[in-house]
A and B are shown apart, each in its own frame.
Chain A
C-alpha cells in the first residue's frame, strides 16, 4: 500500500515541480529521490510498517511474494533512473511530465501486483497502459513514434475491451469480483460463463504481456517508441503484468486448472517458437530485443502454466534477472547511433568494460550458468516439471533457449571478434559504476539465487 500511495503522490510532486522549477536537470534528482523513497516505503511495509492501517475489505492482498516483487521493481526503477535518466531528458521538452508518468505507472504496477479484486486489476492495468501510450508517442515529430503510439493505443484499448468482457462473464458466473470466490460458480447453469470468462481474461492478459498469438503489436511498438521508454516498457512493466497474470491464475482459477492448462501450454509453446525464430532474422538490435522480450515472455508463461510455489520463486528470479540484463543492454544501446549488429563491431576495443558488462547481460538472457538467467530458467522449468505433465513443453523450451544463444551471441561476437571502428559513446563514472553493479548483481544471483529467494520466507 505504501508504494501505491507514494508513487501516486510523487507523480503529482513531479508535475508541480515542473511548473515551478525551470531547470531541466533537477528533474533527475527529484525522480531519483522518489525512486529511493518508493524502495524505502516498500521495504518498510515488508517489515510491517504501513502508512495507513486501513481495512481494504479484501480488495488488496499483501502476500510476501507480491511485496517482494514490488521491491525488485523499485530496485530496477532506481537502476533505470541512474543509467538512463539523462536520455529521458533528451526525448522532448516535458521532462518533468515524463518522470511523473513513470511514477503513475509505478502506482499501476503496485495495484496490479497487490490486487485481490478484479476491479483493482482492471484499474491497475489501465493506470499502467494509459501513461504508456503517452510515453510511446512522446517523440511528437517522429512519424515512427506516432505510429507506434497509435498502434499501441488501438491494440491496448481493444484488449481492454476483451478483458472487461471476461470480467463481466466471471461476475455472471460467481456474483462477485473477489478473486477467492472465482473458483465457485453460483450454480451449475452458470458454470459455462466461468469458462467463457477465463478464456477472455486469458486472451486479454496474453495481449498485455505480448504472448503469441497476440504479440503482433510488440515489435512495432517497441521499435517505434523512444528507446528509453522501450527499456522501461519491456522490463519493469512487462514483469509486473506477468505477476498480475500469475497472481490471478494462482489465486482465482487454480480449481479449474485442468480446464485451461492445455491452452496456456499452447500459448507458451507458440510464444517461445515465434519469439526465438523471428529474433534470429532481425538486423536491428533494438528490434531483436523486442523479439527477445517475446521469447522471454514465453519462459515467464511457464510460471502461469505451473502455478505452484516454485513458479512464484521462478517468477521473482526471472523478473530480477530479466529486468537487470535488459535495462543494462538498453542503457548502452540508447547511447549508440547505429542500432544494427554491425554497429557493435570492435566495441570491445573501444569500451572494454562496457563490453564485458554487456556480455554478462547477454549471457544472463541466454541462460548461461553462473548468471542469474540460468537459475531463473531453471526455476521456471523445474516448476513446470513439478506439475508432472506436458514434459514435451519443457524439452521444447530448452531447445528454444539453445536457439536464443545464437542471436544473443551475435552481439558478443561482433563486439569481440569483428574488426571495426567501435562507436564513440560518452559515459560518466556513475554510469560505469552502475553497470559494474549490474554485472555483479547478475553474477551474485547466478551463484546464490537464495540471496533473493530467502526474502520470501525471512521475516
Chain B
C-alpha cells in the first residue's frame, strides 16, 4: 500500500482538528480537536518511519532506520498527557468561576 494514503489520511485528520479549533466554541471540544491534531501527527510519523525503513530494508533488514520516529511518537503521547492534565485543570478553574466553558466568555481583556 503506497504511503500516499497514510499521508492523506493524516493531513485530513489534522485539518479536521484545525477546523474544530477554529470554529467550535466549547473549550473541551477545542481541546479534543487539539488532541486529534497531535494524533494525526503520530500517524504521519509512523508512516514516514516505515517509508524510510522500507528504503533500506531490502539491503539490510536489520537496519534501525525509522526507529527514532517511533520513539518520537511516545514522546508526543507523554507530552500530550502532561498537557491534558494542566489544560483540564485550567478549564476546571474557569468553570468554577463562571460556570461555563464557552470561549465566547473570553472577551474581558479585549479593550
Contacts and interface: CB of A to CB of B under 8 A. Distances in A.
B82 interface: yes
A161 B83 contact: no
Contact of A154 (B51, B76, B89, B103): B103
B31 A157 contact: yes
Contacts of A126: 79, 82-83
Interface string B1-29: 00000010010001001100100000100
Nearest to A152: B90
B86 A130 contact: yes
Interface stretch (A1-9, A164-172, A384-392): A164-172
A154 B34 contact: yes
A122 B79 CA distance: 10
Contact of B27 (A150, A162, A171, A220): A150
Interface string A133-147: 110010011011011
Interface of B: 7, 10, 14, 17-18, 21, 27, 30-31, 34, 37-38, 40-41, 44-45, 48-49, 51-52, 55, 65-66, 68-69, 71-72, 75-76, 79, 82-83, 86-87, 89-91, 93-94, 97-98, 103, 105-106, 108-110
A147 B66 CA distance: 41
Contacts of A186: 52, 55
Contacts of A149: 90, 93-94
Which 9 A-B residue pairings sit nearest by Cβ, starting from the closest?
Answer: A161-B37, A175-B52, A172-B48, A164-B41, A220-B109, A168-B44, A157-B34, A126-B79, A149-B90
A189 B82 CA distance: 37
A123 B75 contact: yes
Contacts of A154: 21, 27, 30-31, 34, 103
Given A161-B37, A175-B52, A224-B109, A146 B94 contact: yes
A169 B68 CA distance: 14
B86 A134 contact: yes
A165 B75 contact: no
Given A164-B38, A164-B76, A175-B52, A223 B109 contact: yes
Given A123-B75, A147-B109, A154-B27, A165 B14 contact: yes
Contacts of A175: 48, 52, 55, 65-66
A161 B76 CA distance: 10
A245 to B, nearest CB: 20
A176 interface: yes
A133 B21 contact: no
A157 B7 CA distance: 22
A219 B49 CA distance: 40
Contact of B87 (A133, A141, A167, A223): A133
A119 interface: yes
Contacts of B49: 171
Given A150-B94, A169-B44, 5 more contacts: A137-B93, A149-B90, A167-B72, A171-B69, A175-B52
Nearest to B46: A168
A299 interface: no
A134 B37 CA distance: 22
A177 interface: yes
B10 to A, nearest CB: 8
B68 A177 contact: yes
A171 B86 contact: no
Contact of A143 (B31, B55, B97): B97
A439 interface: no
A148 interface: yes
A151 interface: yes
Contact of A147 (B37, B45, B87, B108): B108
12 contacts: A122-B79, A126-B83, A144-B108, A150-B90, A151-B106, A154-B30, A157-B34, A161-B38, A164-B76, A165-B41, A168-B48, A172-B44
A330 to B, nearest CB: 18
A406 interface: no
A16 interface: no
Contacts of B103: 150, 154
Contacts of A137: 90, 93
A342 B47 CA distance: 59
A126 B77 CA distance: 12
B55 to A, nearest CB: 7
B48 A171 contact: yes
